[in-house]
Structure 1
Amino acid sequence: MTIEAFAPAKINLTLHVTGQRDDGYHLLDSFVVFADVGDRLRLTPGDALSLDVTGPFADGVPTDARNLAWRAADLAGWTGHIEIEKNLPHGAGIGGGSADAAAVLRALGAGPDALALGADVPVCMVRRAARMGGIGDVVTPVADDPTFFAVLVNPGLHVATPKVFARLQRKDNAGMAPLPPRHSGMRGWLDWLRAQRNDLQAPAMAIAPGIDRVLRGLEAAPGVLVTRMSGSGATCFGLFPTRSAAQFAASAIAAERPDWWCVPATLS
């Protein structure tokens, strides 16, 4: 019996780097939400593990044990064929591979140590708004967040996460401010978001100047409320007051830069 699964894009609305352990792992404090756009997977049981990748971002995605979805299936003790429709750019700061791995684990009802597959996999297992702390092992779902309307933009750049962390000058930054109190509404959340940051944004921009062009394009969009980079880049987001405003902005940016990946999305 074939199982179908959805792997939504993970968006770090904030990402504070608060320390580094002796073993090299970085400590994070991040508010994470998930989009209604993502990869789609099909898992068909069989005698041996195999994997194919299709879709607009299939090029360059490994189809062997280097793929996190493969490793997730192997960790769960499952064999069969995995097909990934790759709709998300990879190496883009939106958890594409981690989301795929989490989708496999969820589809199989498996509960192994998701952290063994990467820092983003535990929060991708939750697949709802959450505060992510520690090295990714502390995930606290957030129940009272609003729905955000966004435009996600990637200029076709692959930014290597280790290189971004290596460029980070200070690694003991302050964590996020306390989350807005219950029933703060959209205005309260937007005020809070504007006061937070992504500590990896500046070092990522130094490595990949195209990120700056994306942020300027989002900042110029009518009605934009907040702009920031997600994860270690290069995908950036802009938040908008309504779904239609986000769709209009996405259409305008895509028309001007057809070489960029640009999609409207609902985040929750």
Structure 2
Amino acid sequence: MTAFRETGWAKINLALHVRGRRADGYHDIETLFAFVDDGDGIEAEFADADSLSIDGDFAEGLTAGDDNLVRRVLTLLRTRYGADRVPPLAVTLTKRLPVAAGIGGGSADAAAMARLVRRHFLPELGDAGLARLVATLGADIAACVASATCLGLGTGDELSPLPELRLSGTPVLLVNPRQPVATGPVFAAWDGIDRGPLFTGADLRAQLFAGRNDLQRAAIAQCPAIVDVLTELGALRPWLARMSGSGATCFALFDAPAERDAAAAHLAQSRPHWWQMAGALR
């Protein structure tokens, strides 16, 4: 039987500046999205009716009902384009990424499902059109469709590509203390201080060094172990280490794969209970 496969690439926020709280309860942000060349797995095959099963290291506690973003994307695209274009599918989601971790998670999976449907059943639909459709289900999903480095404004759904950053291939290590952090409470606990826009300039490293994550303080209040992760990563001498999204996952960027791999090996010995993923930016 034919199986279709797609990857929900892990998302990181190289910088995340919160500029204001909106009347609708959301926040205006400026963020630099980047994506890692690994993540969750989506597999689908033809079926008599839609179904979703979830396996993998982080499947526990996830529900496969109609409210799951993977199923909602499938329903949305079928409603928009018709059952004759988007057939029933039996979908398996393999959760390799921790949940409530600041690295895309459900958004990456939703985008992967959208790409899978587009690739096999809606080939005329481009990234921009697909992103506009699925963005109604969540702000980060739009960025996850292309899963390429980009600038996100508004709630993170106003996207501009940034090919000039030339980050593809950069060795990256993701680390999470295996403690979930709820996004809503972290944004709600933001102190309301606008600390200024993203710095833009020709010097990539200066641009990233000048960035920050304005949610870090609120996330640490919910999950103090983030401090330990950042401290351990910083001691391994990456050229950048920072918390991603609303936490608790932190990332470190290195100059060479050997440096990343040595850091990963060290943490596997010193912090064997922490989750980690070594890869490269897409």
2:98 to 89, 111, 115: 89
> CA RMSD for the aligned pairs?
1.4
1:113 to 133, 137, 144: 133
2:174 to 145, 152, 155: 152
SS in 2 for 1:28: strand
Comparing 13-22 and 151-160, the one that deviates more: 13-22
The question of whether the paired residues in 2 share the 8 Å contact of 1:54 and 1:86 is answered with yes
Corresponding residue number in structure 1 for 2:266: 252
Corresponding residue number in structure 1 for 2:3: 2
The question of whether the paired residues in 1 share the 8 Å contact of 2:150 and 2:161 is answered with yes
Corresponding residue number in structure 2 for 1:184: none
SS in 2 for 1:176: coil
Corresponding residue number in structure 1 for 2:127: none
The question of whether the paired residues in 1 share the 8 Å contact of 2:21 and 2:192 is answered with no
Corresponding residue number in structure 1 for 2:191: 169
Which digits, 9 at most, give the CA deviation of each residue in 1:59-116, with x for residues without a partner?
1121112321111111111432110111111110000110010011111116362111
Identity %: 39
Q: Please list, as runs of the form range in 1=range in 2, the aligned pairs for 1:17-32 lying within 5 A after superposition.
A: 17-32=18-33
Amino acid at match of 1:116: T
SS in 2 for 1:125: helix
Amino acid at match of 2:10: A
Amino acid at match of 2:251: F
In 2: Cα distance, 1:69 partner to 1:241 partner? 35
Q: Please list, as runs of the form range in 1=range in 2, the aligned pairs for 1:119-268 lying within 5 A after superposition.
A: 119-145=139-165, 146-147=167-168, 148-170=170-192, 172-178=194-200, 180-181=201-202, 188-221=203-236, 223-268=237-282
Corresponding residue number in structure 2 for 1:80: 89
In 2: Cα distance, 1:48 partner to 1:175 partner? 48
The question of whether the paired residues in 2 share the 8 Å contact of 1:115 and 1:137 is answered with yes
In 1: Cα distance, 2:60 partner to 2:159 partner? 32
Corresponding residue number in structure 1 for 2:83: none
Which digits, 9 at most, give the CA deviation of each residue in 1:146-201, with x for residues without a partner?
232111100001100011011111153422112x33xxxxxx32222111100001
In 2: Cα distance, 1:58 partner to 1:70 partner? 16
Amino acid at match of 1:34: F
TM-score by length of 1: 0.93
In 2: Cα distance, 1:242 partner to 1:232 partner? 27
The question of whether the paired residues in 2 share the 8 Å contact of 1:10 and 1:95 is answered with yes
Amino acid at match of 1:19: G
In 1: Cα distance, 2:99 partner to 2:226 partner? 15
* Gaps in structure 1 of 5+ consecutive residues: 182-187
Bigger helix fraction: 2
Corresponding residue number in structure 1 for 2:81: none
SS in 2 for 1:262: strand
The question of whether the paired residues in 1 share the 8 Å contact of 2:58 and 2:97 is answered with yes
* TM-aligned CA deviation for residue 118 of structure 1: 0.7
In 2: Cα distance, 1:130 partner to 1:47 partner? 39
In 1: Cα distance, 2:193 partner to 2:115 partner? 33
Corresponding residue number in structure 2 for 1:67: 68
In 1: Cα distance, 2:100 partner to 2:147 partner? 19
The question of whether the paired residues in 2 share the 8 Å contact of 1:19 and 1:173 is answered with no
In 2: Cα distance, 1:126 partner to 1:19 partner? 27
In 2: Cα distance, 1:205 partner to 1:52 partner? 33
Comparing 203-212 and 110-119, the one that deviates more: 110-119
SS in 1 for 2:184: helix
Comparing 66-75 and 203-212, the one that deviates more: 66-75
